[in-house]
Amino acid sequence: MEYNLADIFECAVDRYPDREYLVADGIRRTYREMDERSNQLAHYLASQGIGKDDHVGIYAYNCVEWVETLWAVFKLRAVWININYRYVNDELAYLFRNADLKAMVYQRQFGPSIAQVKDALPDLQFSLCVDDGTDVENILDSADYASAIASQSNQRAFAPRSGDDKYMIYTGGTTGMPKGVVWRHEDVFFALGGGIDLVTGEAVKHPDEVIDRGAAYQACLMPLAPLMHGASQWAVMGSAFEGRKVVMFSQFDPQLAWRNVATEGVNVFFITGDAMARPMIEAYEQQKDSIDATSLFAVSSSAVVFSSSLKDQYLSHFPNLMILDSIGASETGGTGTLAVEKGKTGMKGGPTVKPGQGTVVLDMDTLLPLTPDSDKVGMVARAGYIPQGYYKDPKKTAETFIQANDGKRYAVPGDFAQYESDGTMTMLGRGSACINSGGEKIFPEEVESAVKSHPQVYDVTVIGVPDERWGSTVCAIIQSRGTVPELASIQSHCRQFIAGYKVPRKLFLVEKIERAPSGKPDYRWAKAVTDAAFASETTPE
């Protein structure tokens, strides 16, 4: 069997046909049912001309049809494209033009958004509309999803596939327009799909080894981020390879999530940092006497900082809980993970993790990996199982995927890091968000961690703003807990945790911090807030 994602999924289906695979807003699918419905969709797509390397967009909230579509497209050796439902017209038009979509599967409520930028879809041959319960008119004259697949065969009958088939994920574009990262199936299976054991660091010799892991026990996982985000995609796909059960929702609802922890027996839930961690633990505290969370043994966070104070809050309620900090990027896959122990939740800025296979801190001056005993700041880089590059962007590909002086090709997405004395690696922050103040590099994540531990702060985004003396200075945009904090109070609090030059010099208050659906900071929104505030010389409300 090839290291092809559809092949491995089908092998898992054959091993665990009657296990429950997916529970999405109360709709349930066993492994066999998911396979059969994906086969039906694949046959319909093929009848409309979709085949190897063709691009099929998925524009929907988390739903059963999202997962059916991803497997159906892979079965045809085609490529599905994740579409961010938060995008406005200009962003959608850019993505549509860049992605060369030949087909689209979308929820009815998004039809008007597609119609407004339809000129950006010159290659679109057809579309399927998923009924989402809304009364939005089908203005695109799309075929109905359920009707289209109903008459199709539920048997496989597909051509042989390859580990060279493509998987593509469009990045969130928090600081610029989205980019499509192109992976081979084999490479992404080892980078994200469980092909490398997280504990031993050893790669499997055959796909069956991954499937065998689920034989003794069916774990239940609950990814809380949108499926358009890579972390949730791989919770859903990686779980399938081990016969796990996945519980997910169309919207992030902490109260509903905790009820499902109890009713579905969730063992692990996946979050993207504080944006989900805080409302989750506060929702638990509101209903803890009525929630049976005894099945829960781990919380796994990735993509965004999971603050020390919040980890302590979780551990105060769940003393034996395993908290996993994981790091990675669309361009690298997982680059490191570490179980955070009680009493050791403190952080310099971002998480401290054990580097994964092929991961190093690269000295960008010498283009050589730093040794673990070095205290120099470098950039996280991964060699081995990495992407081919960015779709239709050779310039950016050359900048991110580099040939280093040790002879290896590395993916270097732009995250600064530093080794600790024990060989672990501490994330410092993304270079594109780094604030240069008087020649000093300041990473927003480190400042945010300090600010968030202030009792009057609910959420914060830190960015640099122009300063005549220092070039840039640190600005904190804060969502308070009700009582408005003073700048002096924030500064005094932060000086306990970070150097004085990193302490915020400006403070703006907003009703709500805007974030990407993944939980990542929305830096374009943050810049608009500060620009408007400086223009009016008043603090925004």
If DSSP codes are grouped into helix, strand and coil, which group holds residue 93? helix
pLDDT at 408 > cutoff 60: yes
How large is the average pLDDT for residues 391-409?
A: 97
Q: How far apart are CA 420 and CA 373, in angstroms?
A: 7
In this prediction, residue 534 has a pLDDT band, given cuts at 50, 70 and 90, of: confident
Q: pLDDT, tens digit, for every residue of 415-456?
A: 999 999 999 999 888 777 889 888 788 989 889 989 999 999
Is the separation of the CB atoms in 323 and 314 below 8 Å? yes
In this prediction, residue 348 has a pLDDT band, given cuts at 50, 70 and 90, of: low
- As a dihedral over the C-alpha atoms of residue 241, residue 245, residue 250, residue 252, rounded to 10 degrees, the angle is -110
pLDDT at 535 > cutoff 70: yes
Residue 171 Cα distances to 301, 406, 413, angstroms: 18, 28, 11
Pairing of strands 101-107, 126-130: parallel
pLDDT at 378 > cutoff 50: yes
Residue indicated by tokens 């998911």: 34
Of 5-14, 171-180, 506-515, give the lowest mean pLDDT range: 171-180
Give the CATH architecture of domain 434-536. Answer: 2-Layer Sandwich (3.30)
| Prediction pTM value | 0.88
Fold of 31-196: Rossmann fold (3.40.50)
CATH 3.40.50.12780-classified regions of the chain: 31-196
Q: pLDDT, tens digit, for every residue of 478-498?
A: 999 989 999 999 999 999 988
Rounded mean pLDDT of the chain? 93
Q: pLDDT, tens digit, for every residue of 211-236?
A: 999 999 999 999 999 999 999 999 99
How large is the average pLDDT for residues 390-397?
A: 97
pLDDT at 396 > cutoff 50: yes
Q: How far apart are CA 468 and CA 463, in angstroms?
A: 16
In this prediction, residue 340 has a pLDDT band, given cuts at 50, 70 and 90, of: confident
Q: pLDDT, tens digit, for every residue of 197-216?
A: 877 788 999 999 999 999 99
Q: What is the pLDDT of residue 33?
A: 99
Q: What is the pLDDT of residue 345?
A: 67
Residue 432 DSSP class: G
Contact residues for 303 (Cβ-Cβ < 8 A; gap 6+): 225, 229, 231, 272, 273, 328, 518, 519, 520
- The one-letter code for the residue type at 105 is V
Q: Closest Cα partner for 452 from 312, 328, 323?
A: 312
Q: What is the pLDDT of residue 351?
A: 83
Is the separation of the CB atoms in 385 and 190 below 8 Å? yes
pLDDT at 540 > cutoff 50: no
In this prediction, residue 175 has a pLDDT band, given cuts at 50, 70 and 90, of: low
Q: pLDDT, tens digit, for every residue of 268-280?
A: 999 999 889 999 9
pLDDT at 462 > cutoff 50: yes
Q: pLDDT, tens digit, for every residue of 383-393?
A: 999 999 999 99
Q: pLDDT, tens digit, for every residue of 106-139?
A: 999 999 999 999 999 999 999 999 999 999 998 8
pLDDT at 262 > cutoff 90: yes
- The one-letter code for the residue type at 74 is F
Q: What is the pLDDT of residue 349?
A: 61
Q: How far apart are CA 27 and CA 200, in angstroms?
A: 36
Q: What is the pLDDT of residue 516?
A: 81
Residue 370 Cα distances to 272, 378, 387, 406, 416, angstroms: 29, 8, 23, 11, 13
Q: pLDDT, tens digit, for every residue of 45-80?
A: 999 999 999 999 999 999 999 999 999 999 999 999
Q: What is the pLDDT of residue 474?
A: 96
Of 161-170, 202-211, 333-342, give the lowest mean pLDDT range: 333-342
Residue 127 Cα distances to 91, 105, 116, 142, angstroms: 20, 6, 15, 5
CATH 3.30.300.30-classified regions of the chain: 434-536
pLDDT at 539 > cutoff 50: no
In this prediction, residue 499 has a pLDDT band, given cuts at 50, 70 and 90, of: confident
